[in-house]
Amino acid sequence: MKQAFLKFGKDDSLRRYHPWIFSGAIHHFSEQPEEGEVVEVYAAKQKEDRKGFDFEYIASGHFQIGSIMVRVLTFEHEDINQEFYEHRLASALQMRKAVGLVGKEDSTSYRLVHGEGDNLPGLVIDVYKQTAVMQAHSVGMHVDRFVIAKALKNVMGDDLENIFYKSETTLPFKAELGQENGFLLGGSTDDIATENGLKFHVDWLRGQKTGFFVDQRENRSLLQKYSQGRKVLNMFCYTGGFSFYAMRGGAQLVHSVDSSQKAIDLTNANVELNFPDDARHTAYAEDAFKFLDRMEKGAYDLIILDPPAFAKHKDALRNALKGYSRLNQKAFEKIAKGGILFTFSCSQVVTKDNFRTAVFTAAAQAHRKVRILHQLHQPADHPINIYHPEGEYLKGLVLYVE
């Protein structure tokens, strides 16, 4: 196995089990690794006589060209093979069972693997009934996809019939791997899953991410509780998740908005699946900012803002915060008196404090009295590795607007 030798003193974060090794920390390789190859990482220790260094094993992980050069898979000296993935996947499944997300009739969707949160950096697996949608965010996970698929089938047994690999948009450009989507097991497109008793189609072949946003499950349930008799605007609706919960909660009307016509078609199909011919729902394919500009003041008293990540990288943070402020200000200006706003950010680089500040600024600029009712976050099947705080990405505020 090829070896990476760290510069002296560059092992601190690894001693705290942080799973990323940046390019600047690496002194040299025993031999240049291929992208996606597993490398063993060695830390430099000064010799007692202070003349030169000894090297000691510290971790193994996937090598990749880029600023994060090694994504650590293990801190123990072990092989990365099918057995390794079986252990990691079994541990992920065990955790989902412990929090009651597995084997339910009325909720058949959950995230089985959440990258670093499950000690598998670069890998995401969402389960929809008997289908797993697997996504590689690193070249290493792409290279290992067939081994992972075998391990997954062994761990899940008869509960799993299909594995769809969907890395069309998630693999790094430098990898030059092109796009790859396809079944690694099975081939069924029976695409109806459930979440808290509500049904939805999952378009794992063509949909965004793995086809549905399972991370909003609990926040949607909370929204349902506040929907009775309200006029609801679900902005950035994608597949309409929040909309059908609002309808079940007894909303007076629900309007879903997304700039993508495909998302609107999906929303309509999902609403139809749960509430056929229900006249309370209308969906609009329109830009959020345009819709907010033209809508009447007081038209809605429950608004959801769940935009796509405004910042994917640290350099984009300032502009992203401005974006969140601008968007929320428009909602504050228009929401009815006594209205409730569910507002989210799913940008990993935007911290909870950053987001709060952006929303507070928006409230002040709109001159509204605002109280925080809830602070929301990602659910238990999107766990945060305690040594990798960057894994906390979903933030939400539920606000009462006087």
Residues 329-364, buried b or exposed e (16+ Cβ, 10 A)?
bbbbebbbeebbbbbbbbbbbbbeebbeebbebbbe
Least distance to ligand SAH from the beta carbon of 289, Å?
6
Neighbours of 243 (CB within 10 A): 33
Nearer to ligand SAH, 194 or 260 (CB): 260
The CA distance from 171 to 142, in Å, is 8
Neighbours of 125 (CB within 10 A): 23
Least distance to ligand SAH from the beta carbon of 288, Å?
3
DSSP element (H, E) containing 3: strand 3-6
- Give which of 223, 220, 235, 200 is closest to 126, Cα–Cα: 200
For tokens 């309808």, the residue is 247
Give Cα 121 to chain centroid, integer Å.
Answer: 13
Amino acid at site 108: T
Neighbours of 111 (CB within 10 A): 26
Contacts of residue 136, Cβ cutoff 8 Å, sequence gap at least 6 = 122, 123, 142, 145, 165, 167, 170, 171
DSSP element (H, E) containing 355: helix 352-365
Least distance to ligand SAH from the beta carbon of 346, Å?
8
Q: Where are the beta strands (DSSP E) in 261-388?
A: 281-285, 302-305, 339-345, 370-377
DSSP string, 46-80: E-TTSSSEEEEEEEEEEE-SSSEEEEEEESSS---
Least distance to ligand SAH from the beta carbon of 57, Å?
42
Contact 88, 155 (CB under 8 A): no
Q: Is 237 a catalytic residue?
A: no
Question: Which residues are at the interface with ligand SAH (CB under 6 A)?
Answer: 213, 216, 236-239, 241-242, 258-260, 263, 287-288, 306-308
- Give which of 215, 264, 225, 276 is closest to 246, Cα–Cα: 225
Active-site hit among 346, 350, 398, 399: 346
Least distance to ligand SAH from the beta carbon of 237, Å?
6
* Beta-ladder partners of 62: 38, 71
Helix/strand/coil for 336: coil
Catalytic residues: 346
